[in-house]
Amino acid sequence: MKFADLGLSDELLKSVLDAGYDTPTPIQAQAIPAVLMMKDLIGIAQTGTGKTAGFVLPMIDILAHGRRRALMPRSLILEPTRELAAQVAENFEKYGKNHDLKMALLIGGVQMGDQVKALQDGVDVLIATPGRLMDLFERGKILLTGCDLLVIDEADRMLDMGFIPDIETICSKLPAQRQTLLFSATMPPPIKKLADKFLTNPKYIEVARPASNNANIAQFKVSTTSRGKREVLRHLLRTDNVSTAIIFANRKTTVRELAKSLQRHGFSAGEIHGDMDQSARNAELQKFKDGVISILCASDVAARGLDVKGVSHVFNFDTPWHPDDYVHRIGRTGRGGATGRAFTLVSSEDAEAIANVEKLTGGKIPELKVEIDKSEDRPARTERKRREEPAEERSERPERTERRGGRKARDEQPREERARDERPREERAVRQERPARSERAARPDYNPDYREDRRQQPSEPPSKPGEWNGPIPGFLNVSALAD
């Protein structure tokens, strides 16, 4: 079957051919005719099967006829993450170049000004994350009453991120008579309940068993310890013919530390996680796509739907907490019919998580034994330069404490060269200006109660008229306390 057999317009077919495609994937072949017939649709397919084009292509033809109005988008696509929303926007720009369609991207992490202006000019396609869409809706910057086509993409990810209540609110603001498309890699019960509530007699398409694995991806698990994970990872990166790789970790702090560690060991690595602002995330992702960096350390913001061509390897530095995320993570490789390799580093703390993954995927993941040559695993840092110098050169260099005039240089002087006072302690005490306590006590005028007597003396009569004759402010009046 060819794209020309699916009922798409000639202008759209030309855009598809210009993009280098002529044969649809299974989900595209089944979804495109149903969407063109204005039917509600549930599409279940594993990641990397091309379901994005399965709704983008027919939407372009449907929206080619109609008029846009200010603040009232004609169609709405909901995405769980900013990266997925930006990727869908790229698809619309690529396939819709021969159509006069306007698109707006509503995502967090960027200023609202340009987004609001685009809505005021009127858009045919609104691609949004639920949080930013709800924010603008509550500010009165957008109306959803003119939206006749709704797409909920990566619905299971929406569930994991807690967006289901927002989606229910958004659906209640849309017209009752509309076309709704729901795409997901898995179908947990809450998603099925959502589909039953907001879809009308939908066509159900399933091109792969939920949570099934891509047969083009060779999967392995590597047993190690928590402390040994980085060492095993570096060994695999050096020895497994890695061209480009995405390394997933469960925590954002782990992502940051892992990227810095790999850079210290000479790897071209970057990072992407939820604590970065959108411009920084886009920049890192673009560097990875352009080949400026070959390794991308990522949290699960990059696990869903990101289409980066030519990713040869995926590494799970941590076994994902949710088994479904395993399928999405390894789906970043082996895309478009290509082959890929996926490694999961498993420590004793990951035993329960990897068991849940194997239960979900329906089979044991083969275990790979790794032997590490520690002599090759050295950090490529400038600090190591001094260690590599010959011993005779290092011996000629002055010690750091000597260069800085520190204590070590002084202590290393011969003992006989140091100035030392050899006199007895009694004779050395003569140098002190203050006499010893025993000498003070021998004086005839010595009074041990000197200070007490001084405090109890009455005030001196004033020597001049107008001077204060009472107790000095701020000092303790002992006589008053005695009375």
Quick one: pLDDT at residue 442? 58
Quick one: pLDDT at residue 445? 58
The rounded distance, in Å, linking the Cα atoms of 311 and 296 is: 10
DSSP code, position 414:
-
Q: What is the pTM of this model?
A: 0.63
Burial per residue of 342-365, b for 16 or more beta-carbon CB atoms within 10 angstroms, e otherwise: bbbbbbeebeebbebbeebbeeeb
Contacts (Cβ under 8 Å, ≥6 apart) of 336? 48, 50, 309
Quick one: pLDDT at residue 302? 67
- The answer regarding whether domain 3-206 maps to CATH 3.40.50.300 reads yes
Q: Which CATH architecture has domain 217-375?
A: 3-Layer(aba) Sandwich (3.40)
Contact 12, 35 (CB under 8 A): no
Contact 128, 77 (CB under 8 A): yes
**Residue 384: pLDDT band with limits 50, 70, 90:** very low
**Residue 483: pLDDT band with limits 50, 70, 90:** very low
Q: Where are the beta strands (DSSP E) in 163-267?
A: 179-184, 203-206, 217-223, 245-248
Task: Tell me which H or E stretch contains 254.
Answer: helix 252-264
The residues with which 246 forms a beta bridge, in sequence order, are 296, 314
Neighbours of 330 (CB within 10 A): 29
| Ranges 49-53, 92-96, 330-334, 464-468, most confident | 92-96
Q: Which residue has the higher pLDDT, 216 or 402?
A: 216
Q: Which residue has the higher pLDDT, 216 or 388?
A: 216
pLDDT in tens, 156-214: 889 888 899 999 999 999 999 999 999 987 788 999 999 999 999 999 999 865 555 67
The mean pLDDT value for 52-77 works out to 93
The mean pLDDT of the chain is 81
Q: Is the pLDDT score of 270 beyond 90?
A: yes
Quick one: pLDDT at residue 382? 44
| Residue matched to tokens 């940051």 | 256
Q: Do domains 3-206 and 217-375 have the same CATH topology?
A: yes
| Residue matched to tokens 């390794």 | 295
Q: Is the pLDDT score of 453 beyond 50?
A: no
Domain boundaries in the chain? Answer: 3-206, 217-375
Q: What are phi and psi of 119, to 5 degrees?
A: -65, -35
Tokens of 138: 């509550």
Minimum mean pLDDT range among 45-59, 335-349, 402-416:
402-416
Quick one: pLDDT at residue 434? 55
